Structure 1
Amino acid sequence: MKFSRLKRKLGGLLGLDSYYWENRPNGLYCLNFHRIGSGEDTPFDPCVFSCSTNELDNHIGFIKQHFAVISLTELEQLIKSKSPPTKRYMCLTFDDGYVDNFTNALPVLKKHNVTASFFIATGLVGNNTVPWWDKIAYLIKRYKPSEVILSGWNQKIIYSGNQESYIRDILSAVKLCKYSANEQILEIERELSHSTGYPDAEFMSWEQLNTLLAEGMEIGAHSHNHDILTKLTDDELFYELSHSKALLEQYLPCQVTAFSYPVGNKSTYNQKVIDGLRNTGYQIAFNFLPGVNISPSNSPYDLHRFPIAPEADEAALKNMFSYTGKF
């Protein structure tokens, strides 16, 4: 990552942006989105919003001009062939299963006639469960503590005037802590004397997921409870991998062979998790780390994805794809 940033800085100074863009390698490029819309009015985590509906429209139009958009089914066939990619392929993915993926993203995808894949945390479907990151953001936004320090943290997080950055830093500390997110939420609730519940959750229903499939989209698993998998016992890990797959295949007319790791950085999955995926019937898995997969058949359970950030324009996308690692 540091090398990529240095390369990008030098390339800009030397006027090489166009050169690197035109000479980006063949391979698998994956974009990852979460929420689509505006995070300004949400009672929950604003950091989960990837872009607005108009920005998504622009992004998909740009992608269609410069990449060959493929489905997960086509990607699995490419991986099984063990042939190196001969084009710049692109997979479009959405994580978690927020309802705005249905209301805001699906019409844009249909407009552009492209297939995208939606990775679903099944414990959030068909009920009113609020996930741990949204609970934490809600508590911070409601009670506005000037600082937060929990058991297992190395240092306190202090509010410095930017609420979004404050929430992001607190969530980062929660992810790094040895204790589960739910244990940390209970501690925050006690510290803030919170006992009144949470607003309604904002996730898709089984009916909406069925509609996604009927409209030509694809579904993958994102675990059941969206826990960090490396923190789990062997039995808990098996449950997260197998139960999410079983539920999706029970309620939806599809075979689920693709998985995306919750949180998705290197500390959240390991060889034990990969072995669990393979033994449970998954064929491919995606992380949340930027990079071009130039040999996807060599690492089908460690496929890299580019995260999309709000207000990214065409120049930002070009630089992101041009100055990056190759895997």
Structure 2
Amino acid sequence: MSRRLLVLGWHNIDPTPFYPADPGAGRRGFERQLAAIDRLGTVVPLSEAVDTLAAGGELPPRAVALTFDDGYADWLDAAVPALDRRGMHGTFFLVSDILSGRIGAWWEDLADAFDRVTAPSLEWAGRTHDLSTPTARRAAQDALKDELKLVDRATRVEAVARIAERIAPPPPPRPPMFLDWDGARALAATGHGIGSHTVTHPILSREDEGTQRHELTASRRALEEGLGQTVDLLAYPNGNAGDYDERTMSVARGAGYRAAITTRPGLVGPNEPPFAMHRIVLTPLTDVGELFGKVARKGTGVARRVANRAVRTLTPTG
């Protein structure tokens, strides 16, 4: 038995503008990952693992919890069926205003604009970004994405809209990339876990305390009322060390959550703060077998670098 938990996280399965990949590669890769996890670990529901660790109990050897962020539509026809075929449990973190169609996903909107770019360059915030080649466009997109994470949500959303207007024509109609409330109810009916990923997916530490409180309380209330079940697990948007702080954790506790997960790599142990749980984020192309081996031999810092290599394989370079 063990008192350690490895939390793994995904976003999408199929390719998107922000997470590009060859057609079908995501589903094939995800199936391979689940096969490796089945062989190397023991999947436990995140909610049960949180309770067990809080009570000082023991988990199965090589315990693994599987999580998914943002509400991508392919969860219903790719992630859930693959999990169910192996009897595995996942926990899915939803953004309530994306479900309602009130907002889009700014990171996907930005990437989509760069996919359709027609402008040769972009003047933005005193800099000129070259857009004349795929490599230059990728560098510009990455630089702007990192800059936009440093501002509050309202500024970020306005900036993405202005950038898109300057560099690309309006987007054509396309199938929804994210679940709506009907999709969320279908997801909840599968028996997998549901958690909150806030109302509008802000980077919480960039917002004032009142906004943070609204994001955490209103999302939980909307999900509980809309899905008819208790929602008391939280995933911080973006989730790196600077994206939440002591104030955020205090607000989350006050909003009635039992625990919150980050994207900071590491194993969760019995002394882990319940509102700063470690997690390793993957793409469907991450070599999970190698990741497990690195965790076992050298710790999660090395394992995170394995995961990061898979992210780089999804990035077009020219």
TM-score by length of 2: 0.82
Amino acid at match of 2:19: P
State whether residues 85 and 294 of structure 1, in contact with CA within 8 Å, keep that contact through their aligned partners in structure 2. no
Aligned counterpart in structure 2 of residue 308 of structure 1, from 278, 282, 287: 282
Q: For residues 198 and 234 of structure 1, what CA distance do their matches in structure 2 show? A: 37
User: Residues of 1 paired with 2:118 and 2:246: CA distance?
Assistant: 40
Whichever residue aligns with residue 13 of structure 2, its letter is I
> In the TM superposition, what are the counterparts of 1:51-62 in structure 2 within 5 Å?
52-62=26-36
Identity %, equivalent residues: 22
Where does residue 67 of structure 2 map in the other structure? 93
> How far did 1:205 drift?
2.5
Letter of the 2:6 partner, please give it: Y
Task: For structure 1, list consecutive stretches of 5 or more residues without a partner in the other structure.
Answer: 1-24
Cα distance in 2, alignment partners of residues 72 and 196 from structure 1: 38
Moved more, 137-146 or 311-320: 311-320
Letter in 2 for 1:249: E
Q: Of 187, 199, 213, which residue of structure 2 is paired with 1:224?
A: 199
Check whether the contact 1:36–1:104 (CA below 8 A) recurs between aligned residues. yes
Tell me the CA shift for residue 84 of structure 1: 6.4
User: Does residue 107 in structure 1 map to residue 84 in structure 2?
Assistant: no
Match status 1:242 vs 2:217: yes
SS at match of 2:166: helix
- Flag the 1:76–1:58 CA change in 2: closer, same or farther, 3 A: same
Mapped partners of 1:48, 1:54: distance in 2: 11
Provide the rounded CA distance (Å) in 2 between the counterparts of 1:118 and 1:293: 19
Partner Cα distance (1:190, 1:52) in 2 = 30
Output the CA distance in 1 between the equivalents of 2:123 and 2:53: 45
| Secondary structure, aligned partner of 1:220 | strand
122-131 vs 160-169, greater mean Cα deviation: 160-169
Q: How many residues of Structure 1 are paired with residues of Structure 2 in the alignment?
A: 295
Q: Deviations over 1:204-257 (max 9, x none)?
A: 122322222322201000001011111112221111111110010001121111
CA contact 2:122–2:166 (8 Å) conserved in 1: no
Whichever residue aligns with residue 45 of structure 1, its letter is F
Question: Would you say the 8 A contact 1:47–1:168 is kept in 2?
Answer: no
Q: How does 1:195-234 map to 2 (within 5 A)?
A: 199=174, 201-234=176-209
Local SS of the residue matching 2:234: strand
Instruction: Tell me the equivalent position of 2:19.
Output: 46
8 Å CA contact 1:45, 1:133 repeated in 2: yes
RMSD: 2.9
Matches of 1:315 and 1:286, distance apart in 2: 23
Sort the Cα spacing of 1:315 and 1:84 in 2 relative to 1 into closer, same or farther, 3 A.
Answer: closer
1:175 positional shift = 1.1
1:248-327 alignment runs, 5 A limit:
248-295=223-270, 297-322=271-296, 323-325=298-300
Residue aligned with 1:300, SS: coil
